[in-house]
Structure 1
Amino acid sequence: MPISQLPPLHQQADWLGLKTVVMVVRLRHLWNKITHEVQFYLTSLDSDALILGRAIRLHWGVENGLHWTLDVTFNEDACRVRTGHAPYNLSLLRRIALNALNREQSLKRSNRQKSNRAAMDNNYMLTILAACLSQHNNDASQSACQ
Protein backbone atom coordinates (compact mmCIF):
# COMPACT_ATOMS: atom_id res chain seq x y z
CA MET A 1 0.00 0.00 0.00
CA PRO A 2 1.41 3.42 -0.84
CA ILE A 3 2.26 5.44 2.25
CA SER A 4 0.01 8.23 0.95
CA GLN A 5 -3.05 5.99 1.53
CA LEU A 6 -2.20 5.39 5.20
CA PRO A 7 -2.89 7.64 8.17
CA PRO A 8 0.09 9.84 9.16
CA LEU A 9 2.86 7.88 10.84
CA HIS A 10 4.21 8.72 14.27
CA GLN A 11 7.18 11.05 13.67
CA GLN A 12 6.70 10.74 9.91
CA ALA A 13 9.61 13.13 9.28
CA ASP A 14 11.94 10.35 10.50
CA TRP A 15 10.78 8.12 7.64
CA LEU A 16 12.24 10.09 4.72
CA GLY A 17 12.01 8.18 1.46
CA LEU A 18 9.39 5.74 2.70
CA LYS A 19 6.93 5.11 -0.12
CA THR A 20 5.29 1.76 0.50
CA VAL A 21 4.25 -0.61 3.27
CA VAL A 22 4.03 -4.22 2.14
CA MET A 23 2.17 -7.02 3.89
CA VAL A 24 3.01 -10.59 2.90
CA VAL A 25 0.78 -13.44 4.06
CA ARG A 26 2.33 -16.90 3.82
CA LEU A 27 0.46 -20.17 4.18
CA ARG A 28 2.63 -23.27 4.39
CA HIS A 29 1.27 -26.79 4.15
CA LEU A 30 3.60 -29.18 5.98
CA TRP A 31 2.22 -32.70 6.12
CA ASN A 32 -0.91 -32.39 8.26
CA LYS A 33 -0.12 -28.92 9.61
CA ILE A 34 -0.85 -25.52 8.07
CA THR A 35 1.11 -22.52 9.30
CA HIS A 36 0.04 -18.91 8.76
CA GLU A 37 2.60 -16.12 8.86
CA VAL A 38 2.26 -12.37 8.24
CA GLN A 39 5.28 -10.14 7.58
CA PHE A 40 5.51 -6.43 6.94
CA TYR A 41 8.14 -4.63 4.88
CA LEU A 42 8.88 -0.91 4.65
CA THR A 43 10.39 0.25 1.39
CA SER A 44 11.38 3.25 -0.66
CA LEU A 45 10.19 1.45 -3.80
CA ASP A 46 6.97 2.42 -5.53
CA SER A 47 3.86 0.36 -4.89
CA ASP A 48 4.28 -2.24 -7.64
CA ALA A 49 3.40 -5.76 -6.52
CA LEU A 50 5.52 -7.44 -9.20
CA ILE A 51 8.70 -5.51 -8.35
CA LEU A 52 8.14 -5.76 -4.60
CA GLY A 53 7.47 -9.50 -4.84
CA ARG A 54 10.71 -9.99 -6.77
CA ALA A 55 12.69 -7.96 -4.21
CA ILE A 56 11.25 -9.98 -1.30
CA ARG A 57 11.91 -13.31 -3.06
CA LEU A 58 15.45 -12.18 -3.89
CA HIS A 59 16.04 -11.37 -0.22
CA TRP A 60 14.78 -14.76 0.89
CA GLY A 61 16.70 -16.45 -1.94
CA VAL A 62 19.91 -15.24 -0.33
CA GLU A 63 18.70 -16.32 3.10
CA ASN A 64 17.64 -19.74 1.88
CA GLY A 65 20.63 -20.21 -0.39
CA LEU A 66 23.69 -19.07 1.51
CA HIS A 67 22.57 -18.98 5.13
CA TRP A 68 20.67 -22.24 4.96
CA THR A 69 23.66 -23.90 3.29
CA LEU A 70 26.01 -22.57 5.97
CA ASP A 71 23.73 -23.92 8.67
CA VAL A 72 23.33 -27.35 7.08
CA THR A 73 27.02 -27.71 6.25
CA PHE A 74 28.58 -26.20 9.37
CA ASN A 75 25.67 -26.09 11.85
CA GLU A 76 26.20 -22.32 11.98
CA ASP A 77 22.98 -21.50 13.87
CA ALA A 78 24.12 -23.63 16.81
CA CYS A 79 27.38 -21.69 17.19
CA ARG A 80 27.34 -19.76 20.48
CA VAL A 81 30.47 -17.70 19.89
CA ARG A 82 29.38 -14.12 20.55
CA THR A 83 32.29 -12.01 21.79
CA GLY A 84 34.93 -9.90 20.14
CA HIS A 85 35.83 -10.52 16.52
CA ALA A 86 35.31 -14.28 16.78
CA PRO A 87 31.78 -14.40 15.20
CA TYR A 88 32.95 -12.42 12.16
CA ASN A 89 36.16 -14.45 11.83
CA LEU A 90 34.33 -17.78 12.06
CA SER A 91 31.73 -16.62 9.55
CA LEU A 92 34.46 -15.62 7.12
CA LEU A 93 36.22 -18.98 7.52
CA ARG A 94 32.96 -20.86 6.95
CA ARG A 95 32.30 -18.94 3.74
CA ILE A 96 35.82 -19.62 2.47
CA ALA A 97 35.41 -23.31 3.32
CA LEU A 98 31.99 -23.44 1.63
CA ASN A 99 33.40 -21.89 -1.54
CA ALA A 100 36.27 -24.39 -1.50
CA LEU A 101 33.85 -27.30 -1.06
CA ASN A 102 31.72 -26.02 -3.94
CA ARG A 103 34.78 -25.81 -6.22
CA GLU A 104 35.77 -29.44 -5.59
CA GLN A 105 33.83 -31.49 -8.14
CA SER A 106 35.49 -34.94 -8.10
CA LEU A 107 33.27 -36.25 -5.30
CA LYS A 108 29.54 -35.97 -5.98
CA ARG A 109 28.39 -35.57 -2.38
CA SER A 110 26.80 -32.86 -0.26
CA ASN A 111 29.07 -30.17 1.14
CA ARG A 112 28.52 -31.59 4.62
CA GLN A 113 29.67 -35.03 3.48
CA LYS A 114 32.67 -33.49 1.72
CA SER A 115 33.55 -31.52 4.86
CA ASN A 116 33.32 -34.64 7.04
CA ARG A 117 35.45 -36.62 4.60
CA ALA A 118 38.07 -33.84 4.48
CA ALA A 119 38.22 -33.92 8.28
CA MET A 120 39.11 -37.63 8.16
CA ASP A 121 41.17 -37.80 4.96
CA ASN A 122 44.12 -35.45 4.52
CA ASN A 123 44.47 -36.37 0.85
CA TYR A 124 40.88 -35.34 0.17
CA MET A 125 41.42 -32.12 2.13
CA LEU A 126 44.36 -31.39 -0.20
CA THR A 127 42.11 -32.12 -3.19
CA ILE A 128 39.66 -29.49 -1.93
CA LEU A 129 42.44 -26.97 -1.40
CA ALA A 130 43.87 -27.68 -4.86
CA ALA A 131 40.42 -27.13 -6.42
CA CYS A 132 40.20 -23.85 -4.57
CA LEU A 133 43.57 -22.67 -5.85
CA SER A 134 43.23 -23.82 -9.45
CA GLN A 135 41.96 -21.44 -12.08
CA HIS A 136 39.56 -23.00 -14.59
CA ASN A 137 39.88 -20.01 -16.88
CA ASN A 138 42.56 -17.48 -17.67
CA ASP A 139 40.83 -14.61 -15.88
CA ALA A 140 43.34 -13.79 -13.14
CA SER A 141 40.92 -11.32 -11.56
CA GLN A 142 38.55 -14.14 -10.62
CA SER A 143 39.66 -15.55 -7.29
CA ALA A 144 38.37 -19.04 -6.62
CA CYS A 145 37.82 -18.91 -2.88
CA GLN A 146 36.70 -15.45 -1.83
Structure 2
Amino acid sequence: MPCTPSTVTAAYLRKRGAHYLAIVKKNHPGLYAQVRKLPWADIPLDHHTRDRAHHRDEIRRLKVAAFLHLDYPGARQAIQVVRRRRELSTGKLTIERVYLITSLGVFDATPAQLAAWIRGHWGIENLLHHVRDRTFREDDSKVRTGTLPRTMASLRNLAISVFRQNDETNIAAALRRTSRDYRRPLSALGLT
Protein backbone atom coordinates (compact mmCIF):
# COMPACT_ATOMS: atom_id res chain seq x y z
CA MET A 1 0.00 0.00 0.00
CA PRO A 2 1.41 3.40 -0.86
CA CYS A 3 2.27 5.69 2.00
CA THR A 4 4.82 8.39 2.67
CA PRO A 5 7.47 6.69 4.78
CA SER A 6 10.47 8.49 6.13
CA THR A 7 13.90 7.54 4.84
CA VAL A 8 14.46 5.79 8.18
CA THR A 9 11.34 3.67 7.67
CA ALA A 10 12.29 2.88 4.08
CA ALA A 11 15.80 1.85 5.14
CA TYR A 12 14.33 -0.30 7.93
CA LEU A 13 11.94 -2.05 5.54
CA ARG A 14 14.71 -2.78 3.05
CA LYS A 15 17.01 -4.05 5.82
CA ARG A 16 14.26 -6.49 6.81
CA GLY A 17 13.78 -7.64 3.20
CA ALA A 18 10.41 -5.89 2.81
CA HIS A 19 9.45 -3.59 -0.04
CA TYR A 20 7.60 -0.29 -0.09
CA LEU A 21 5.48 1.69 -2.53
CA ALA A 22 5.48 5.33 -1.44
CA ILE A 23 3.79 8.48 -2.67
CA VAL A 24 6.29 11.29 -3.29
CA LYS A 25 4.85 14.53 -1.99
CA LYS A 26 6.08 18.10 -2.05
CA ASN A 27 7.06 17.87 1.61
CA HIS A 28 10.14 15.98 0.33
CA PRO A 29 11.18 18.76 -2.10
CA GLY A 30 14.47 17.24 -3.28
CA LEU A 31 13.01 13.81 -4.01
CA TYR A 32 9.84 15.32 -5.50
CA ALA A 33 11.87 17.48 -7.90
CA GLN A 34 14.10 14.54 -8.82
CA VAL A 35 11.13 12.28 -9.66
CA ARG A 36 9.08 15.01 -11.35
CA LYS A 37 11.98 15.95 -13.63
CA LEU A 38 12.44 12.43 -15.01
CA PRO A 39 11.87 12.30 -18.79
CA TRP A 40 8.23 11.22 -18.46
CA ALA A 41 7.33 12.41 -21.97
CA ASP A 42 9.82 9.91 -23.41
CA ILE A 43 8.68 6.99 -21.24
CA PRO A 44 6.03 4.79 -22.86
CA LEU A 45 2.64 4.24 -21.25
CA ASP A 46 2.75 1.00 -19.23
CA HIS A 47 -0.82 0.64 -18.02
CA HIS A 48 -4.15 2.43 -18.31
CA THR A 49 -7.71 1.94 -17.13
CA ARG A 50 -10.99 3.67 -17.78
CA ASP A 51 -13.91 3.53 -15.38
CA ARG A 52 -17.30 5.14 -15.15
CA ALA A 53 -18.62 5.28 -11.61
CA HIS A 54 -19.76 7.76 -8.95
CA HIS A 55 -21.12 10.12 -11.63
CA ARG A 56 -17.74 10.54 -13.29
CA ASP A 57 -15.62 9.12 -16.07
CA GLU A 58 -12.06 8.43 -14.97
CA ILE A 59 -8.96 7.51 -16.94
CA ARG A 60 -5.80 6.46 -15.10
CA ARG A 61 -2.49 6.27 -16.95
CA LEU A 62 0.60 4.78 -15.35
CA LYS A 63 4.23 5.06 -16.46
CA VAL A 64 7.09 3.27 -14.72
CA ALA A 65 10.76 4.15 -14.95
CA ALA A 66 13.57 2.03 -13.51
CA PHE A 67 16.35 4.10 -11.97
CA LEU A 68 19.10 3.19 -9.54
CA HIS A 69 20.14 6.74 -8.69
CA LEU A 70 17.00 7.96 -6.92
CA ASP A 71 17.86 9.70 -3.67
CA TYR A 72 15.90 7.38 -1.39
CA PRO A 73 16.88 4.14 0.39
CA GLY A 74 16.42 1.16 -1.90
CA ALA A 75 14.37 3.03 -4.51
CA ARG A 76 14.46 1.08 -7.78
CA GLN A 77 11.58 2.55 -9.79
CA ALA A 78 9.68 5.79 -10.13
CA ILE A 79 6.02 5.85 -11.11
CA GLN A 80 3.86 8.57 -12.61
CA VAL A 81 0.08 8.25 -12.39
CA VAL A 82 -2.09 10.71 -14.29
CA ARG A 83 -5.78 10.70 -13.37
CA ARG A 84 -8.27 12.46 -15.63
CA ARG A 85 -11.73 12.80 -14.13
CA ARG A 86 -14.74 14.23 -15.90
CA GLU A 87 -17.87 14.88 -13.86
CA LEU A 88 -20.75 13.54 -15.95
CA SER A 89 -23.27 16.03 -14.59
CA THR A 90 -21.18 19.19 -15.09
CA GLY A 91 -18.57 18.16 -17.64
CA LYS A 92 -15.86 19.56 -15.36
CA LEU A 93 -12.45 18.00 -16.07
CA THR A 94 -9.75 17.62 -13.42
CA ILE A 95 -6.29 16.25 -14.05
CA GLU A 96 -4.13 15.03 -11.20
CA ARG A 97 -0.52 13.92 -11.51
CA VAL A 98 0.90 11.75 -8.70
CA TYR A 99 4.45 10.45 -8.34
CA LEU A 100 5.48 7.36 -6.44
CA ILE A 101 8.63 5.38 -5.80
CA THR A 102 9.07 1.73 -5.01
CA SER A 103 11.82 -0.58 -3.90
CA LEU A 104 10.40 -3.25 -6.19
CA GLY A 105 12.48 -3.99 -9.26
CA VAL A 106 11.13 -4.32 -12.78
CA PHE A 107 10.84 -8.10 -12.43
CA ASP A 108 9.20 -7.97 -9.00
CA ALA A 109 5.87 -6.44 -10.05
CA THR A 110 4.09 -5.69 -13.30
CA PRO A 111 2.67 -2.24 -14.04
CA ALA A 112 -0.82 -3.74 -13.65
CA GLN A 113 0.07 -4.98 -10.15
CA LEU A 114 1.50 -1.59 -9.22
CA ALA A 115 -1.68 0.08 -10.48
CA ALA A 116 -3.83 -2.30 -8.41
CA TRP A 117 -1.81 -1.61 -5.25
CA ILE A 118 -2.06 2.13 -5.82
CA ARG A 119 -5.83 1.88 -6.30
CA GLY A 120 -6.03 -0.23 -3.16
CA HIS A 121 -4.42 2.60 -1.26
CA TRP A 122 -7.12 5.00 -2.40
CA GLY A 123 -9.73 2.48 -1.23
CA ILE A 124 -8.20 2.67 2.23
CA GLU A 125 -8.02 6.44 1.93
CA ASN A 126 -11.74 6.56 1.16
CA LEU A 127 -12.77 4.05 3.83
CA LEU A 128 -10.73 5.49 6.68
CA HIS A 129 -9.21 8.92 6.13
CA HIS A 130 -12.22 10.36 4.31
CA VAL A 131 -14.44 9.30 7.22
CA ARG A 132 -11.98 10.79 9.71
CA ASP A 133 -11.86 14.03 7.72
CA ARG A 134 -15.57 14.42 6.97
CA THR A 135 -17.49 12.62 9.71
CA PHE A 136 -15.15 13.28 12.63
CA ARG A 137 -13.90 16.63 11.20
CA GLU A 138 -10.40 15.70 12.28
CA ASP A 139 -8.78 18.67 10.55
CA ASP A 140 -10.87 21.06 12.69
CA SER A 141 -9.64 19.52 15.94
CA LYS A 142 -7.97 21.90 18.39
CA VAL A 143 -5.98 19.02 19.91
CA ARG A 144 -2.44 19.66 18.66
CA THR A 145 0.10 19.08 21.43
CA GLY A 146 1.92 16.10 22.89
CA THR A 147 0.52 12.65 22.27
CA LEU A 148 -3.11 13.78 22.25
CA PRO A 149 -3.45 14.03 18.42
CA ARG A 150 -2.22 10.44 18.01
CA THR A 151 -4.49 9.26 20.84
CA MET A 152 -7.53 10.94 19.30
CA ALA A 153 -6.70 9.48 15.87
CA SER A 154 -6.46 6.03 17.47
CA LEU A 155 -9.85 6.48 19.16
CA ARG A 156 -11.43 7.58 15.88
CA ASN A 157 -9.90 4.57 14.12
CA LEU A 158 -11.26 2.31 16.86
CA ALA A 159 -14.76 3.72 16.47
CA ILE A 160 -14.65 3.32 12.68
CA SER A 161 -13.31 -0.23 13.00
CA VAL A 162 -16.02 -1.23 15.49
CA PHE A 163 -18.74 0.12 13.22
CA ARG A 164 -17.27 -1.58 10.14
CA GLN A 165 -16.91 -4.85 12.06
CA ASN A 166 -20.64 -4.59 12.85
CA ASP A 167 -21.36 -4.18 9.10
CA GLU A 168 -22.14 -0.47 9.29
CA THR A 169 -21.58 1.27 5.97
CA ASN A 170 -22.68 4.78 6.95
CA ILE A 171 -20.41 5.76 9.85
CA ALA A 172 -22.12 9.14 10.39
CA ALA A 173 -25.53 7.47 10.78
CA ALA A 174 -24.02 4.82 13.07
CA LEU A 175 -22.49 7.54 15.26
CA ARG A 176 -25.81 9.37 15.55
CA ARG A 177 -27.69 6.16 16.36
CA THR A 178 -25.09 5.07 18.94
CA SER A 179 -24.99 8.48 20.66
CA ARG A 180 -28.73 8.37 21.44
CA ASP A 181 -28.37 5.64 24.09
CA TYR A 182 -25.41 5.29 26.45
CA ARG A 183 -25.69 1.45 26.31
CA ARG A 184 -25.18 1.21 22.54
CA PRO A 185 -21.41 1.92 22.51
CA LEU A 186 -20.91 -0.76 25.15
CA SER A 187 -23.06 -3.15 23.17
CA ALA A 188 -21.15 -2.40 19.97
CA LEU A 189 -17.93 -3.27 21.81
CA GLY A 190 -19.48 -6.50 23.11
CA LEU A 191 -19.27 -5.33 26.74
CA THR A 192 -22.94 -5.82 27.68
Q: Structure 2 length normalisation: TM-score? A: 0.55
Q: What is aligned with 1:112?
A: 172
Matched positions, count: 122
Equivalent-residue separation in structure 2 for 1:2 and 1:19 (angstroms): 6
Root-mean-square deviation (Å): 2.4
Which one has more relative contact order, counting CA pairs under 8 Å at least 6 apart?
A: 2
Which has more helix, going by share of residues? 1
Measured against aligned partners, the alpha-carbon deviations of 1:99-145 in whole angstroms (never above 9, x if no partner) come to: 3333456xx782212212333x22xx4133213216xxxxxxxxxxx
Give ranges in structure 2 of 5+ residues lacking alignment: 1-64
> How high is the sequence identity, in percent, across the aligned residues?
31
Structure 2 residue aligned with 1:97: 159
Q: Give the AA of the match of 1:133.
A: G
* Contact 1:27/1:36 (<8 A) preserved: yes
Give the letter aligned to residue 98 of structure 2. Answer: Q
Structure 1 unaligned blocks of 5 or more: 135-146
Cα distance in structure 1, aligned partners of 2:163 and 2:72: 43
Report the Cα distance in structure 2 between the residues aligned to 1:83 and 1:44, rounded to whole angstroms. Answer: 34
Alpha-carbon spacing, 1:24–1:103, altered in 2? closer, same or farther (3 Å): closer
Give TM-score scaled by structure 1 length. 0.70
1:46/1:101 CA distance change after superposition, 3 Å = same
Give 1 or 2: higher strand fraction.
Answer: 2
Structure showing greater radius of gyration is 1
CA distance in 2, matches of 1:127, 1:25: 45
- 1:36 and 2:95 equivalent? yes
